[in-house]
Chain A
Amino acid sequence: MGDILQLVLKRLGLGAITLLVVSILIFFAVELLPGDIAQAVLGQGATPETVAALREKLGLDQPAVIRYFHWLAGALTGDFGVSLVSGERVSAAISDRFVNTLFLATYAAVIAVPVSIVLGVIVALLRNTLFDRVANVLTLTSISSPEFFLGYILILYLAVKSNYFPAIASLSADMSFGDLLHRTFLPALTLVLVVTAHMMRMTRAAIINLLASPYIEMARLKGVPPWKVIVKHALPNAWAPIINVVALNLAYLITGVVLVEVVFVYPGVGQLLVDAVAKRDFPIVQACCLIFAATFILLNLAADVGAILTNPRLRHPK
């Protein structure tokens, strides 16, 4: 077990370093601004006095490295400073929205993950049949469509023309859970469509890859029935690729969520980020980026650790 522990720790360490480097990147990218933040926010017409005042307020007189460590320490405790536009605390603006985004992504994942893995295995078993070809064309089409295309099609047919679901996913505090699921169904479905197609294709590829191994042929030559070949002989070796597929697509959800939130006017972090970018509200942009990047890195980390833990060769060292 020593080997495994070492590998996992190594991977965790690497993840931590990546996160640190990314935080540096996010912070110092803003430093690349021509002039500085104060100048950029106030624009060319601002008087030197107002710029100097804002500069002082933001603590820009300190060296960037010191400000970075302040920012990082704040970020670790959930304090991302103050919005340049509204003067509101960034953490206050983000916290509710972050829960909403997380809810939407989870909603989509709960539907997409089981559906796509089961479908992926089925297509792998039926490979090169008509069903497989049709599935291939459909998934390719789904992957190729921008999220807003799928989103607007769903709105047009399921909200505007037939009124099954609301077109705008507005939330209120006193909604029942069922109501919540109903209101957020269309954005979730949009995400499901995109991610399912991806996951299905990758699961299919992973299984087919595995089915070509000699030990699968051996199992078949031992007279093991097809379902048992899959469940007993292929699946235990397929965990690593499948975990990878899932993590990669959950990570993909994070990117997709931004566009979907805008389409459905859903009050999540993505929407906030897009607004902040347009208004050049840097503390919010930095905070949102850091949150998205951290989630992304954590998911990839989880996938790698999962792959290490399920590898039979590593689990039973020589």
Chain B
Amino acid sequence: MVPKRDVLLRISDLRIEGYSDEKWVEIVRGVDLTLHKGEVLGLIGESGAGKSTIGLAAMGFARDGCRISGGSIEFDGMELTTTPESDLRALRGSRIAYVAQSAAASFNPAHRIIDQHTEAPIQYRIQKRVEAQEDAMQLYERLRLPNPGEIGFRYPHQVSGGQLQRAMTAMAMACRPDLIIFDEPTTALDVTTQIEVLAAIRDIVDQFNTAAIYITHDLAVVAQMADTIKVLLKGEEVEEAPTEEMLDSPKEDYTKSLWAVRSFQRPQKHRPKEADAIPIVSVQGIDAAYGKTKVLDDVSFDIYPGMTVAVVGESGSGKSTTARCITGLLPPTKGQILFKGEPLPPRYQDRSKDQLRQAQMIYQMADTALNPKIRISEIIGRPAQFYGGLHGAKLKNRVDELLDLIELEPSKFYNRYPPELSGGQKQRVGIARALAADPSFIICDEVTSALDQLVAEGILKLLDRLQQEFNLAYMFITHDLATVRSIADEVVVMQRGKVVEQGPKDEMFTPPHHPYTDLLLSSVPEMDPNWLTTLLEERGTDAIGEAADV
């Protein structure tokens, strides 16, 4: 619990409008917020909840196409909604600082990191250039950046994502602000990199006793960082409480449902015992390369009928490339892929219609996976027509049947276009399109990672039901271990194009692990607010800096 302290920021009945479809629409609808000096407030919500907009409003800033239409924002006794722009500007960077989601895009590529760091202190005449640079190096050291004396003199594109994010936190600290807005600072990072950034942010905020608003959609992350959590939904507050209380006993139904998402789990299946069982897909020692860069190195695993194999790894581990090899988009340079015991031609162009039909794919971004200019009925109907030769009433019946399967009412969705659907509905249509081909094997490429948690859970349950109904085999590509825990039968862990470990899920989640699996598993944030502290103690602070380079 935070002791009573001076109020730093008080937002009351804040209303913000955004311009879309030729009119102003309210996107933040009467939010109140109080932040004390040195306090960290977590703002959590799904996409479209208005988190970032509120964060920026705390700086008196509205993006182009947005405007603050009502309410008050009082920062340290100053009413920001009526303050002239020039005075607001004097606050920004000096007393309120901002850390953006993508450091790679938010650093100017034309200037050295340290020159961008020292810009604000020099401009506000807090420090001279040399002092500011020395101070920057000290901050880099505190944030445990490698080579603190030298790293600032590099250009942004010469530094890795995790380091850049820490450099941006250092930049926010340059003028020792009273308040920092962290806008999803770790969302774009891999889990193992995320840890070091989280630890660094938490340390520095503690050390300087800076107040912060921490914006994220990840509950477990916010649990580590915030003293108080505020849950938002569609621009309105759902509830607010101190972190422990919020985690232990959420009051509102919406919050409870958010908390409950991670509980979905289905029983694990095992490989058939018979020795002569044939895997539906057998990847045998494949290498692959983009041009001269080798991206896959001797990858092998089997997928048996009716089972789900999760392929896990961070970005660049080669998990999606493996899928491209299986579908035939990228012919492997070595090794082969067997389908029901028969070798598949490496290029999809050389495969038979039946081979193409049996292996289907569901994509991560439903937005780009469905043609926005084609009606749902044709998107789903086309495979049935193309492979099954269905026409007229038969085709319509089949489409209706498929829409029923994915729990979308046929009469309502038959004639719609994808842009009229929500994210979850689109993903369901993507599933129906795969089902329409009547496949035996489906590759699911990060199918839930672009979705909000509640929606994602629904998709996972649907996929599970369909698997049982049609005895489908899934290859489930994901970076999210919570998803793996809930639906996988077997797990393949990949790192830098190689399979580092594979086996049944229960074995994979119990020690002993391969060191990389261990790192991966332990890096996934847990809902326990003490998780990060405990983990850092276990690992020892020295290990953190190198964690990303394992």
| Contact surface of A with B, Cβ cutoff 8 Å | 212-215, 217-225, 232-233, 236-237, 312-313, 316, 318
Contact = CB atoms under 8 A, between A and B. Distances in A.
Contacts of A218: 98, 100, 106-108
A124 to B, nearest CB: 13
B92 A223 contact: yes
Contact of A237 (B63, B102, B110, B171): B110
Contact of B61 (A214, A215, A220, A233): A220
B138 interface: no
B100 A236 contact: no
B111 interface: yes
B107 A221 contact: no
Interface of B: 56, 59, 61, 63-64, 89-94, 97-98, 100, 102, 105-111, 119-120, 123-124, 154-155, 157-158, 171
B120 A316 contact: no
B105 A213 contact: yes
Most buried by A among B98, B102, B105, B108: B108
A215 B92 contact: no
Given A312-B155, A313-B157, A316-B158, A222 B93 contact: yes
A221 B89 CA distance: 8
B168 to A, nearest CB: 8
Contacts of A225: 89
Listed from nearest, the 4 A-B pairs whose CB atoms lie closest are A236-B110, A223-B92, A222-B93, A223-B93
A316 B106 contact: no
Contacts of A212: 64
B105 A312 contact: no
A222 B111 CA distance: 15
A221 B105 contact: no
Contact of A215 (B91, B93, B109, B154): B109
B107 A222 contact: no
A224 B119 contact: yes
A214 B101 CA distance: 10
Given A215-B107, A218-B106, A312-B110, A223 B100 contact: no
Contacts of A221: 56, 59, 61, 92-93, 97-98
A219 B61 CA distance: 13
16 contacts: A214-B102, A215-B107, A215-B108, A217-B63, A217-B106, A221-B56, A221-B61, A222-B120, A223-B90, A223-B91, A224-B89, A224-B123, A233-B110, A312-B109, A316-B158, A318-B157
Contacts of A214: 100, 102, 105-106
Contacts of B110: 233, 236-237, 312
Contacts of A223: 89-94, 120, 123-124
B169 to A, nearest CB: 13
Given A221-B93, A316-B155, A236 B120 contact: no
B120 A215 contact: no
A221 B182 CA distance: 12
B109 to A, nearest CB: 5
Given A218-B107, A222-B98, A233-B108, 18 more contacts: A212-B64, A215-B106, A218-B108, A221-B56, A221-B92, A222-B92, A223-B90, A223-B123, A224-B93, A224-B120, A224-B123, A232-B111, A236-B108, A237-B109, A237-B110, A312-B109, A313-B109, A313-B157
Contacts of A237: 108-110
Nearest to A221: B98
B108 A219 contact: yes
Contacts of B107: 215, 218
B92 A236 contact: no
Contacts of B64: 212
A195 B473 CA distance: 63
Contacts of A217: 63, 100, 106
Nearest to A216: B108
A215 B100 CA distance: 9
Nearest to A213: B105
A219 to B, nearest CB: 7
Contact of B105 (A215, A316, A318): A215
A317 B431 CA distance: 43
Contacts of B119: 219, 222, 224
B465 to A, nearest CB: 41
A4 B318 CA distance: 30
Contacts of A222: 92-93, 97-98, 119-120, 171
Most buried by A among B102, B154, B157: B157
B10 to A, nearest CB: 21
A303 B226 CA distance: 51
Contacts of A220: 61, 92
Contacts of B120: 222-224
Nearest to B111: A236
A242 to B, nearest CB: 14
A215 B322 CA distance: 35
Contacts of B154: 316
Contacts of B109: 215, 237, 312-313
Most buried by A among B100, B107, B109, B123: B109
Contacts of B105: 213-215
Nearest to B120: A222
A215 B154 CA distance: 17
A224 B108 CA distance: 13
Contacts of B123: 223-224
Contacts of B106: 214-215, 217-218
A232 B110 CA distance: 9
A238 to B, nearest CB: 10
Nearest to B108: A215
B209 to A, nearest CB: 22
Contacts of B100: 214, 217-218
Nearest to B86: A225
Most buried by B among A219, A223, A313: A223
A225 B123 CA distance: 10
A318 B90 contact: no
